Amino acid sequence: MISAAIVGGTGYTGIELIRLLSAHPEVSIDLLTSRSEAGTRADEIFPSLRGISDIVFSDLGDDTLATLQKCDVVFFATPHGVAMQQAEALTQAGVKVIDLAADFRLQSLTDFEKWYKQSHACPELLKTAVYGLPEVNRDKLANALLVGNPGCYPTTAILGLKPIIEGQNKQAERLIESRIVIDAKSGVSGAGRQASLALNYAESTDNFKAYSVEGHRHLPEIEQGVAQLLDSQFTHRIRFLPHLVPMIRGMLSSIHMELTDAGAAIDWQQAFENAYASETFVDVMPKGVYPDTRSVRASNRLRIAVHQDNDRDELTVIVVQDNLVKGAAGQAVQNMNVMFGFDESMGLNFAPIVP
């Protein structure tokens, strides 16, 4: 049994971590922090936890940091910029750290400072961080002390592109043209639990809009994933555009590419099935079957459909996931399982909720 702490447990990813870790047979949640809710039982704020967890929120003070250093793993479900203030002391104490924010995702300090509007507090430690996408980085995660949990959109994009980029790396010529278009949609929970007029029921319901049209901070993370994680031998121009849809949770990304003659000669349906045949949480749909977001609701599953049109030299990959589970807390638990040598699906192998 390992001892876990969750820093910042009042947001949607925090409550998902409590839900998932409470059911994990090898984990005890021994500390839960929140400055605003210190002294309050978690099930008073989240009645869904009644009978599941009686843990009480603590303030993150000096005494709490000493307690964190006694844990085996600390999850940061906090705003960007918080984990990097504590990660160095924790890792020096031998504690494994999983950050669900962006502090340890981008290896480029220039990109981090540009998109997150702050300087990095521990750039040397950043160099040791492992990007927490098990289907790509499983071997590195097994020995990791510090993990940057991926963003929700990049998870769909990188896993949606992985078989294509890896297939292309084996060829001397291009299989797809350089331009990739990622048209992505997410439910409102992706924006977090803070009060905001734009997320008000009357504002978001019966409405559908694009946002960050001029550029989204997940774009450099997607570009890093394609260039570094997937070791692309070719340059790609990626256009990423997110949209807010009037649902609570769920994410769908449509990835559009133009095939070359060499690319059209490949059966991409079979290529995707082969690439993910051994992956528990990636499900490649049968040819002609397309997933919807409710098919993964509240689960750690990610489903992929492939549509190849050789008459038009087009390839479309559709990826769905629950943005709070595989896109956040579930993936963090999956990373923890790899880091501690547990079965990767432990505490996560449950069916999606329908309806």
- Which residues are marked as active site? 152
Question: Is residue 65 within a helix (H) or strand (E), and if so which, with residue range?
Answer: helix 62-68
Give the SS3 label for residue 74: strand
What tokens does 160 get?
A: 């949606």
CA distance 200 to 195: 8
Provide DSSP, 80-98: TTSHHHHHHHHHHTT-EEE
CA distance 35 to 235: 45
What tokens does 169 get?
A: 């790396």
For residue 220, cis peptide bond before it (omega within 30 degrees of 0): no
Strand partners, 181: 239, 256
What tokens does 64 get?
A: 């709490």
Question: Is residue 4 within a helix (H) or strand (E), and if so which, with residue range?
Answer: strand 2-7
- Phi–psi pair at 279, nearest 5 degrees: -90, 120
CA distance 142 to 130: 10
- Phi–psi pair at 233, nearest 5 degrees: -90, 0
CA distance 75 to 329: 9
Q: Which of 153, 158, 133 is nearest to 253 (CA)?
A: 153
What tokens does 41 get?
A: 């039982």
What tokens does 261 get?
A: 């003659």
∠ CA 189-192-197, nearest 5°, is 90
∠ CA 229-293-236, nearest 5°, is 30
